[in-house]
Structure 1
Amino acid sequence: MGESEIEIRLLESADEMAAVGTMFQQVWGSVTPLVETELLCAIAHSGGYVIGAFDAANIVGASFGFLGRHDGQEALHSHVTGILPGVQHTGVGRAIKEHQRAWAAERGIGWITWTFDPLVRRNAWFNIEVLHADVAEYLENFYGSMGDAINGDDDSDRLLIAWPTDPSAERRPAPAGTTTIEIATPDDIVRLRRTDPAAAADWRRRVRTELGEALESGGVVTGFTRDGSYQVAVPA
């Protein structure tokens, strides 16, 4: 399946919103819905963002977000984006992000923000090296206990990402007088949570301390390496 075969469109009906909720449960392996149909209906009707990605009549991805603020400007906060495992790594995620950017830009919205688990390498690579988005903040145990098949019983630490809707905007530069450090991540944190929860917890504490403190002290994430390390410019 190629990206060109996928149709991404805004959703309106309750049936479409229910399909999004069901798909999210499949992606996260959750018994309870990640989002209720009525909330998605309210977000869409009040000017928020709710889309589905379709392969013919089948929904294979979805995303929703609401309006917020970043750096003093209006932002679209993309709260949840999910793609079925069978179509991951086919360009659908990039297509959804580009759709978000176009939707926000048409409405004069300057930023798109979202969160991701700093231990998940593929997401770090996508956000930092593919989209060239900024890491704005380290959020410790941001959502509390989540308990789904992906997050398990791990703390829900997140990085807040900020992506300008102006494609010509450059990533926030490292300030002068800094040195670059590298902060490693586990090879596959989702598998490690299942096979060795103690090791997964050790990784969480290590990255929370190293990356969280680096950002708190004024450090700037400047890259993410192929072998899974954050490159951070920190005050010398």
Structure 2
Amino acid sequence: MPHTPARPLHAVTLRSGVGFRQAAALYTRVFGYDRPEFSLNPNLLSALARNGGSVVGVYAGEDDLIGFAYGFAGRDEAGNDFHYSQAAVVDATHQGEGVGRLLKEHQREVARGWGHRAMRWTFDPVLARNAHFNFSSLGAEGIAFVPDYYDRPGTDRILVEWALERAEDPFRDLRGATPPPLTESEWGRVRTTTLARADGSEIEGAWLAVPAAAPALSDDEEERASHDRLRTRVREALTGLFAAGHVLVACTRIDPTTAAYLAVARPEREETR
């Protein structure tokens, strides 16, 4: 649960050179990047803000930027238009204060102002905390799995879509469903159960077990090999779920070690984006 921040928080659209430079610095610090090719150009942020993109921040007090997100207009191969959120970062000392939600809600309003009805972004499938926020808190869905999204090993991603204007969430009754008692030995494995829906019908749910907390990076060869095997199992499971026509609608922590994604069949008729 979010805890109360020490100073008032407010979300804004960044419009000044000072704000863009603060955002670029925060981005580099949070991700720990030390290579120039991974840095963020403030000039790019200025151009995005003026031309259909989003550059939003959350301040604690008057001038302490503690959260930042940016995005741009996108279109997929099927011709669906959307706002693509490339990154959202929160200062580590302000995790759990609701900064991520403030960022996304403000970014949603910016995207809607440009005429977009959906927002997309990606995240690492072994980051269960991010998954819970995306699905169970925001009410978005995982619509695809993309291996090696950034053309580098270890960059598998789940593609998320958030409907910005739908009147009713078709998965609302499923997002709080109770997962089966999966354990660490089942990470990367899928178990199916039957779920009761609010209208009295039943639906099959596929639960994919993952670590509740992101595995720590290690120089130990055995630990790294174990982590690689986990990513391979998660990749195979997600590939199979999406190939079968599923969407991800929730991610729930079972115990301190294990969480589980919930995948269900994609509705036959989805809202037009």
TM-score range, shorter chain: 0.7 to 0.9
Over the matched positions of the two proteins, sequence identity in percent amounts to 27
Show the counterpart of 1:43.
Answer: 48
1:23 aligns with 2:48: no
Larger Cα Rg: Structure 1 or Structure 2?
A: 2
SS at match of 2:148: coil
1:201 aligns with 2:228: yes
Q: How much does 1:4 deviate?
A: 7.8
Contact 2:128 2:212 in 1 (8 A): yes
What do the CA deviations read for 1:90-133 (whole angstroms, capped 9, x no partner)?
Answer: 10101111112222223331001111111101001111111111
Show the counterpart of 2:131.
Answer: 124
Distance 1:165 1:144, change over 3 A: same
1:141 aligns with 2:148: yes
Distance 1:222 1:47, change over 3 A: closer
Contiguous gaps of at least 5 residues in structure 2? 175-200, 267-273
SS at match of 2:67: strand
Q: How much does 1:221 deviate?
A: 2.0
1:65 aligns with 2:77: no
1:189 aligns with 2:189: no
Distance 1:193 1:101, change over 3 A: farther
SS at match of 1:191: coil
1:168 aligns with 2:167: yes
**RMSD across aligned positions (CA):** 2.6
Distance 1:126 1:188, change over 3 A: same
Distance 1:157 1:171, change over 3 A: farther
State the alpha-carbon separation in 2 of the partners of residues 165 and 4 from structure 1: 29
Show the counterpart of 2:245.
Answer: 218
Contiguous gaps of at least 5 residues in structure 1? 146-153
SS at match of 1:125: helix
Q: Please report the TM-score for the alignment, with normalisation by the length of structure 2.
A: 0.74
Show the counterpart of 1:151.
Answer: none
State the alpha-carbon separation in 1 of the partners of residues 219 and 54 from structure 2: 34
Distance 1:204 1:3, change over 3 A: farther
